[in-house]
């Protein structure tokens, strides 16, 4: 939710809160809906530079600049209208190369072009191979960024940048047969044309500690022989009930890297620039905690970026993400390999990015997000109108995919209209995979907009696979929001297969399974329901049996007493194969219910169940007709039904929310007048959080008490404004979200993410 221009903004500004990064939208401090002026970026890069030495004519790089480099010249200018070619070994190094003409790197021999920064001015171009003439397979082209404690490091593109190394036909493949520990041979699912000495990484579904790097000794058809023995076993596609391991190549014959890991470079495209990046390695780039400087970064290009391609690259050992697209549209990101990123990997920054395509990329190991604080994911976006197809996310403490859709309006490309991001449907999310994540394979944070003027839309997740490791039994999919449809998903070994924290969501034709040898501690469930009007149809759940056979069920509902919203679902023709197919318990709203149709009781079930029935809270006064009885095994009351349409309680949820806000306002006034303690006020905040009146980025339902947060005393002045109706409910709740989120983000290790 975006705060209105009001007395509240003034109040927060007085308190020197400069970055309105609300919990409902993880807006980057660099974000802007206004037109970006790249000339300011260019001027900033050049403002502290000393005199440039320029070439006199087109020709060889060495002839024009090598002697000057030995004389201490640090800045060189390639003049407009000239072409300079670099070929062969180069021993020179420079501070800045300003390209107003054309610089073409044919190869760099046995050395690298060593430079602090390359600035490609409007009208200028840097070419390192192109579509017609890539860098030859037996050649290499290398740029090493020189470290500097002061000033920018990297390539800054205001003109054109073309990079095309030797084409890699398959940047990653699946492992066809099981590979045993100590083996040196891999059998992959298709023939690869990689080279001896190339570096590869072998992933390990089910064991997050066993992603390992080796080098190729030789290749014979689908056989890859390694120079070193495997330190772990790796699953092949011939392994039943598992996601296959992947083998990805990291090496390229075009390499852009940093000499000093404490002063890393980046590659940045600005508005009006153009080009493509193909089959290059970006190694040890991305300066840690530096905003807007990432290994590959598209910055406010808007529609001018349409047609740009980022294909077949590897981005390795990054301290600040892999590929970031910011306020730019229509970019193809395909066949790339990311290996180790601090923060989000493939990152759509602000929500005003449209029509970008992420296809068949693999990202391996993301660490904590530092710039924005809190959790990280391999693929992260705030806008559903982008394409994600056949990607693979591997290993991390947090998420494989994270769709965090904020309640803000953006301009739709080629349209004069503005749209709320939560009103937009997904373009395509098809055939993606995630494994070995502690938090889970995927999270969608997208609450429904209760506004007749804003139509609802559907996000469709199709053919998604998620698998937890044996030591990190996370969640398969978490939906905190509404109008999400999951089709044909396969979820393996997740402590929670699917968690539904919202309304009007659908699960169809989905398989959720826990291997028989895995029995995690604590409560486990195939599907945990925490919202209203959800649908589960033609799906199967099996293997949810805990160590003590008590805290496990195929389908259960949230039993958080502070969660007052209604919980309901219709379950149709779904196979539940475990001793406890349902667990109902004691939800915060006693009107909650589950409807089940077409149920076939398996031989493993604790009791025989009718084909059609409703489950309610024991002791509930809602069921007052014949055919009801208690089922202690499910902690539920059962009523047999013939055909009862699912109740539409969405309006009652709105009423519940209104009553919760009204009561919270009373308690906030009591706190402001010192009638209740800080601890009691925190309890009231927890109630409206668990009932989804407010959202706090990074905090899961049921984990509010894990955060370390103290309500600042200046909030009492804000409560006074609210009590006197000087600000609206929405404005106050937005401010509360912001205060909590910004506080815990400053210490992301202080709370359960």
% of the chain at pLDDT higher than 90? 51
Share of residues in the chain with pLDDT > 70 (%)? 84
- Residue 44 in domain: no
Task: Give strand pairing partners of 93.
Answer: 114
Write down which residue in 251, 282, 305 finishes a domain. Answer: 251
Q: pLDDT band for 752, please (50, 70, 90 cuts).
A: very low
Please check whether residue 725 lies inside any domain of the structure.
Answer: yes
CA nearest to 152, candidates 28, 49, 270: 49
Q: List, in order, residues 6 or more apart from 393 with CB less than 8 Å away.
A: 345, 362, 363, 377, 378, 379, 400, 401, 432, 433, 434, 435, 437, 441
Q: Does the structure show a pLDDT above 70 at 35? A: no
The last residue of one of the domains, among 205, 233, 251, is 251
Q: Average pLDDT for residues 521-536, to the nearest whole number? A: 90
CA distance 634 to 649: 24
- Does residue 706 carry a pLDDT above 60? no
Q: What is the pLDDT of residue 239?
A: 79
**What's residue 570's pLDDT?**
94
Structure tokens at 45: 């890069």
Is residue 685, in this structure, part of any structural domain at all? Answer: yes
Q: How far is CA 40 from the centre of its chain?
A: 31
Please, how many CA atoms are within 13 Å of residue 221, restricted to the half-sphere of its CB?
Answer: 3
What is the signed CA dihedral for 87, 91, 95, 100, rounded to 10 degrees? -20
Q: What is the DSSP letter of 147?
A: P
According to the model, what pLDDT value does residue 751 have?
28
Whole-number pLDDT of residue 221 = 92
Contact predicate 493/480, CB 8 Å = no
Relative orientation angle of helices 7-14 and 715-723, to the nearest 10 degrees: 170
CB 335 within 8 A of CB 360: yes
Per-residue pLDDT band for 130 (boundaries 50, 70, 90) equals very high
Domain that holds residue 731: 7-20+660-750
In a domain, 690, yes or no: yes
Cβ–Cβ < 8 Å for 413, 407? no
CATH number at residue 175: 2.40.30.240
- What per-residue confidence (pLDDT) applies to 472? 61
Residue 5 has pLDDT above 60, yes or no: no
**Is residue 258 packed enough to be buried (19+ CB in 10 Å), middle (13-18) or exposed (0-12)?**
buried
Is 753 a residue whose pLDDT tops 50? no
| pLDDT number for residue 29 | 44
The answer to whether position 261 is within a domain reads: no
In this predicted structure, which of 83-87, 437-441, 625-629 has the lowest mean pLDDT?
625-629
Domain-embedded: residue 233: yes
Predicted local distance difference test score (pLDDT) of residue 471? 65
pLDDT tier, 211 (very low <50, low <70, confident <90, very high otherwise): very high
Which residues neighbour 406 within 8 Å (Cβ) at sequence distance 6 or greater?
1, 2, 22, 24, 25, 26, 27, 351, 382, 421, 422
Arithmetic mean of pLDDT, 37-61: 84
Domain count, the chain: 2
> Residue 378 falls within a domain, yes or no?
no
The length of the chain, given as a count of residues: 753
Q: What distance in Å separates the CA atoms of residue 525 and residue 57, rounded to the nearest whole number?
A: 72
> Of 258-267, 468-477, 634-643, which one has max mean pLDDT?
258-267
**pLDDT tens column, 268-282:** 999 999 999 999 999
Torsion of CA 207, 208, 209, 212, to 10 degrees: 90
Q: Write out pLDDT tens, residues 716-738.
A: 888 888 888 888 887 787 778 77
Query: Which pLDDT belongs to residue 4?
Result: 34
Query: Which pLDDT value is given to residue 232?
Result: 94
199, 232, 251 - which closes a domain = 251
Quick check: 434 pLDDT over 60? yes
Q: What is the mean pLDDT of residues 91-107?
A: 92
- Inside any domain, residue 16: yes
CA 404 from chain centre, in angstroms, equals 8
pTM: 0.86
Across 73-140, the runs of DSSP E, i.e. the strands, are 75-78, 83-86, 93-99, 102-105, 113-120, 125-128
3-state secondary structure 113-129: EEEEEEEECCCCEEEEC
Taking residues 459-479, report their average pLDDT: 88
């Amino acid at each position: 939710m975006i705060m209105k221009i009001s007395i509240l903004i003034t109040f927060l500004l007085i308190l020197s809160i400069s970055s309105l990064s609300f919990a409902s939208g993880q807006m980057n401090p660099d974000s802007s809906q206004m037109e970006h002026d790249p000339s300011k970026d260019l001027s900033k890069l050049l403002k502290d530079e000393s005199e440039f030495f320029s070439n006199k004519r087109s020709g060889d790089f060495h002839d024009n600049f090598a002697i000057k480099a030995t004389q201490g010249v640090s800045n060189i200018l390639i003049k407009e209208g000239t072409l300079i070619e670099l070929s062969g070994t180069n021993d020179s190094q420079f501070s800045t190369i300003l390209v107003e003409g054309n610089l073409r790197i044919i190869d760099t021999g046995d050395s690298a072009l060593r430079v602090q920064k390359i600035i490609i001015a409007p009208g200028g171009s840097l070419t390192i191979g192109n579509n017609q003439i890539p860098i030859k397979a037996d050649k290499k082209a290398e740029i090493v960024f020189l470290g500097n404690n002061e000033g920018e490091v990297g390539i800054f593109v205001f003109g054109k940048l073309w990079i095309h190394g030797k084409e890699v036909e398959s940047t990653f493949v699946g492992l066809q047969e099981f590979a045993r520990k100590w083996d040196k041979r891999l059998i992959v699912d298709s023939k690869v044309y990689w080279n001896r000495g190339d570096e590869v990484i072998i992933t390990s579904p089910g064991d997050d500690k066993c992603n390992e790097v080796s080098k190729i000794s030789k290749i014979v058809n689908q056989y890859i022989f390694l120079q070193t023995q495997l330190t772990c076993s790796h699953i092949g596609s011939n392994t039943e009930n598992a996601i296959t391991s992947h083998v990805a190549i990291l090496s390229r014959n075009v390499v852009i890297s940093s000499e000093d890991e404490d002063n890393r470079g980046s590659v940045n495209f600005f508005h009006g620039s153009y080009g493509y990046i193909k089959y290059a390695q970006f190694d040890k780039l991305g300066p840690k905690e530096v905003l807007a400087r990432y290994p590959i970064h598209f910055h406010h290009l808007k529609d001018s970026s349409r047609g740009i391609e980022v294909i077949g690259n590897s981005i390795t050992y990054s301290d600040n993400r892999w590929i970031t697209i910011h306020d730019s549209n229509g970019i193809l990101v395909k066949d790339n390999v990311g290996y180790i990123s601090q923060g989000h990997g493939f990152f759509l920054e602000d929500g005003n990015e449209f029509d970008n395509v992420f296809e068949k990329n693999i990202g391996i190991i993301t660490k904590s997000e530092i710039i924005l604080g809190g959790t990280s994911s391999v693929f992260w976006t705030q806008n559903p109108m982008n394409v994600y197809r056949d990607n693979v996310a591997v290993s991390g403490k947090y998420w494989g995919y994270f769709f965090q859709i904020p309640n803000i309006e953006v301009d739709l490309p080629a349209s004069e209209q503005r749209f709320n991001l939560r009103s937009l449907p997904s373009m395509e999310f098809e055939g993606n995979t995630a494994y070995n994540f502690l938090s889970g394979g995927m999270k969608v944070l997208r609450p429904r907009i209760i506004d007749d003027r804003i139509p609802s839309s559907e996000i469709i997740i199709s053919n998604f696979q998620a698998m937890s490791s044996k030591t990190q039994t996370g969640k398969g999919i978490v939906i905190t929001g509404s109008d999400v449809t999951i089709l044909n998903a396969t979820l393996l070994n997740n402590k929670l297969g699917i968690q539904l924290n919202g309304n009007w969501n659908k699960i169809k034709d989905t398989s959720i399974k826990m291997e028989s040898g895995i029995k995690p501690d604590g409560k486990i469930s195939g599907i945990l329901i925490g919202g209203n009007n959800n649908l589960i149809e033609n799906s199967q759940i099996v293997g949810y049996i805990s160590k003590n056979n008590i805290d496990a069920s195929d389908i259960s509902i949230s039993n958080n007493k502070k969660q007052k919203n209604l919980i309901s679902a219709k379950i149709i023709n779904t196979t539940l194969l475990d001793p406890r197919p349902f667990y109902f318990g004691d939800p915060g709203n006693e009107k909650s219910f589950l409807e089940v149709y077409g149920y076939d009781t398996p031989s493993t079930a604790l009791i025989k169940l009718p084909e059609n029935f409703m489950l309610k809270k024991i002791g509930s006064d809602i069921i007052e007709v014949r055919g009801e009885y208690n089922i202690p095994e499910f902690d539920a009351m059962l009523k047999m039904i013939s055909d009862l349409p699912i109740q539409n309680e969405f309006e009652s949820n709105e009423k519940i929310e209104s009553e919760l806000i009204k009561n919270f306002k009373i308690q906030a006034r009591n706190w402001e007048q010192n009638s209740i303690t800080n601890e009691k006020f925190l309890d009231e905040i927890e109630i409206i959080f668990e009932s989804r009146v407010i959202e706090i980025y990074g905090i899961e339902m049921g984990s509010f008490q894990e955060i370390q947060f103290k309500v600042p005393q200046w909030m009492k002045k804000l409560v006074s404004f609210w009590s006197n109706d000087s600000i609206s409910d929405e404005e106050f709740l937005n401010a509360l979200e912001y205060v909590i989120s910004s506080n815990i983000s400053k210490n992301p290790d202080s709370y359960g993410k």
